[in-house]
Structure 1
Amino acid sequence: MILAAALLLGTLAVGWWSPWLLSRLAARIDPRTAIAWWLLTAAGMAGGTVAGVLLLVLPGHGPADAVLRLLHDCWAAADHDDLPALDPVAGTIAVLVLAFAVGRLATTWLARRRRRAVLHQRHLTALRLAGTRDTRPVPTLWLPDERPIAYSLGGRRSLVVASDGLAARLTKRELGAVLAHERAHVQGRHHLLTSCAEVLGRTLRFVPLMRELPGATRLLVELAADQAAAAQCGREPLRSALLSIRAVDGPRRALAMAGGDTAIRLSRLETGSSPAPRSMTVAGGLAAFLAPPAIAVALVLITGFVACR
């Protein structure tokens, strides 16, 4: 039970303290790298939680006894056999928590899929009736609306939605930057990333990492799309377009041009950000994903060392 407890404690430490570190790193690194680190940290926490629960409920705690056998002789104060009554209690509580989390995860994901399917069907019907003004690389549905609207829908039948009011208000360069921004969402699979973040965030909202994950991901995908559009069309057209249409948002399941924190996006467009080296991205992602077991191993080794002393 000791290794399982250490692993669960490691996941709690990551869940409580990682948002502080990730938020500060995100302000200094490429947004795509920041997205990967946020999601990998959440995935590592979820995996560590599942692994810790399995170690508690498996017969003999799975491989945990073999790992701890090396420390068994000098770790008499924390001997597993001294507290046998804790096993069924801890295992039952852990299974109940895990079952609740898995059930919440499944119901949230299914509900999102149903709502997204309805939203897609409505837009695809309008697309067939109204036709498109351009179809490459992503179909664009133009709405007869005087408001400046721009958003994108992901999935297998992804499309960009814009309004006639948008085209009337913006210059040609600004309009091109807005459409490039929305296409960057589709090509970067940002809708899938935000969906995963929101599902995880609804599952364990009492953990700060999961609670802050959806908002952080939605802001970071906007920054990533801004970066892609600025590289293609320039920063100034995108910045002026954002100032013109930031008050108009899109449907709940869409990624709108007006999404995210406008002040942060405008500031990032002024300062810019250089892509992080691939080695840094990979190393940081592995560290984020393996943080819970790494903390668990450190706790076991430190406790064993103190007990042996």
Structure 2
Amino acid sequence: MIPAAALFLGAVVTGWWSPRALSRLAAAGTAPGTVIAWWLLAAAGVVAGVLGSVLLLVLPGHGPAGAVLRVLHDCWATAGHDGFPALDPIAAAGSAAVLGAAVVGLARNGLLRRRHRTVVHRRHLTALRLTGDRRPLPTLWLPDDQPIAYSMGGRRPLVVASTGLADRLTGAELRAVLEHERAHVRGHHHLLTGVAEVLGRTLRFVPLMRELPSAMRLLVELAADRTAAARCGTEPLRSALRRVRTTGGPRGALSMAGADTAIRLDHLDATAEPRFTAGVKAVVGGVAAVLAPPAVAVALVVGAGLIACPAS
């Protein structure tokens, strides 16, 4: 039970502490794509840590659990360790019940989101067919005076813009806006934000999961801004961000004005890191994010062992 409890505590510590660290790294100018990977890997590490702790409880003889218990048995006997194994079935049943409820919640929220997105997407595709645009990534122009720009993912992605947007922007600004929306589609940002929203809605009691949707929405906007600036120039995109303030689009779409404009403008001024430095940082940070729960668990077990079993 001790390794399972340590792994569970490692997941808890990571779930509660990591959002602050990840937010600081994003504010420090790290590439948005790298920070997106770190957030998702940290979330995956927490989920894997909880699953691993449940497996160790359900199957106490599996993996290193039995060996660890045998090694530490004598050291912790005075602390009542002899009674711990009797608690395994109770803890395992409770953990499995909580895990099952979480899985059901994830499936339910995922299906509800997919159903809503499918209905809205079909309406857009119906309107698009009337235009005869058969390009792989078409643009649906809406006769609306408001400056609207958003994109929709899925198997038939599309960009949606309004005539009001074209009337208010210059040619260079409009190209930057459309390239921004195409970057969302090419980067599979709709899928990433969808996964984040389902996790956040289902596991809101974990700070990492609760903050994941808002962090992901901002980060995908920063990533799309970086791509658009590289293709169309920073100044047209900056000017367009200042002029397009309305947030249009249905739920599940990614809008041009869908995040904090001030933060996005600040990131446009940031200097890109050298490719090698950015690559090393991405790999090291990703490994640290996904291995944080077991690393904390090992530290807890080793620390407790050193306290309970002083070197002889």
Q: Tell me the TM-score normalized by structure 2.
A: 0.94
Where structure 1 has 5 or more consecutive residues not aligned to the other structure, the ranges are none
Taking the TM superposition and a 5 Å limit, the aligned residue runs for 1:56-75 are 56-58=57-59, 60=61, 63-75=64-76
State the shift of 1:235 in Å: 1.0
The answer for the alignment partner of 1:255 in structure 2 is: 254
The equivalent of 1:6 in structure 2 is 6
Measured in 2, the distance between the counterparts of 1:253 and 1:77 equals 56
- Written as runs of structure 1 = structure 2, the 5 A alignment for 1:167-206 is 167-206=166-205
Alpha-carbon distance in structure 2 between the residues aligned to 1:304 and 1:26:
37
User: Quick one: which amino acid aligns to residue 19 of structure 2?
Assistant: P
SS of structure 2 residue aligned to 1:271: coil
Cα distance in 1 between the residues matched to 2:269 and 2:14? 33
Q: 1 CA distance for matches of 2:78 and 2:306?
A: 12
Partner of 2:145: 146
In structure 1, the residue corresponding to 2:145 is in which secondary structure? coil
Q: CA deviation at 1:61?
A: 5.6
- The DSSP-based 3-state class of the residue aligned with 1:56 is helix
CA distance in structure 2 between the partners assigned to 1:83 and 1:277 by the alignment = 46
Q: Which residue of 2 aligns with 1:245?
A: 244
**AA paired with 1:6?**
A
Q: Which amino acid aligns with 2:292?
A: A
Residue 46 of structure 1 corresponds to 47
Identity of aligned residues (%): 66
Q: Secondary structure at the match of 1:162?
A: strand
1:102 maps onto 2:98 in alignment: no
Give the counterpart letter for 1:212 in structure 2.
Answer: E
State the alpha-carbon separation in 1 of the partners of residues 202 and 307 from structure 2.
Answer: 37
Does 2:127 align with 1:126?
yes
Indicate conservation of the 8 Å contact 1:151/1:254, yes or no. Answer: yes
Whether the aligned pair in 2 keeps the contact of 1:223 and 1:265 (CA below 8 Å) is yes
- Secondary structure of the corresponding residue to residue 167 of structure 2: helix
Distance in 2 separating the partners of 1:176 and 1:78: 68
- Preserved contact between residue 60 and residue 66 of structure 2 (Cα < 8 Å): no
**1:173–1:237 CA contact under 8 A, matched in 2:** yes
Q: State the distance in 2 between where 1:190 and 1:37 align.
A: 15
1:116 Cα shift? 1.3
Output one character per residue of 1:164-203: Cα deviation in whole Å (capped at 9) or x when no partner.
1111111000000001100000001101111111111112
Structure 2 unaligned segments of length 5 or more: list them. none
RMSD: 1.7
Call closer, same or farther: CA 1:272–1:249 in 2, change over 3 Å: farther
Change (3 A) 1:160 1:82: same
Aligned residues: 307
2:87 matched residue in structure 1: 86
Name the CA shift for 1:203/1:248 in 2 (closer, same or farther; >3 Å).
closer
Question: Which stretch shifts more, 281-290 or 86-95?
Answer: 86-95
Q: Give the secondary-structure state (helix, strand or coil) at the position aligned to 2:269.
A: helix
Cα drift, residue 257 of structure 1: 0.3
> Does the 8 A contact of 1:185 with 1:225 survive in 2?
yes
In structure 2, distance between residues paired with 1:188 and 1:18 = 24
Is the Cα–Cα contact under 8 Å of residues 176 and 233 in structure 1 kept in the other structure? Answer: yes
* Alignment partners' CA distance in 1, 2:150 and 2:78: 61
Q: After the TM superposition, which of the residue ranges 76-85 and 283-292 deviates more from structure 2?
A: 76-85
Corresponding residue number in structure 2 for 1:213: 212
**What TM-score do the two structures reach when normalised by structure 1?**
0.94
| Partner secondary structure for residue 250 of structure 2 | coil
How many Å apart are 1:208 and its aligned residue?
A: 0.6
Judge which range, 151-160 or 57-66, deviates more.
Answer: 57-66
Q: Is the 8 A contact 1:116 1:253 kept in 2?
A: yes
Q: Which residue of 2 aligns with 1:294?
A: 295
Worse overlay, 55-64 or 25-34: 55-64
Q: CA deviation at 1:62?
A: 5.2
Note the alpha carbon deviations across 1:30-88, whole angstroms, 9 max, x for none.
11000000010001001111111111122546541123333334333356432344223
Q: CA deviation at 1:117?
A: 1.0
Paired residue for 2:229?
Answer: 230
The DSSP-based 3-state class of the residue aligned with 2:75 is coil
In the aligned structure 2, how far is the partner of 1:248 from the partner of 1:116?
Answer: 18
Q: Which residue type is aligned with residue 21 of structure 2? A: L
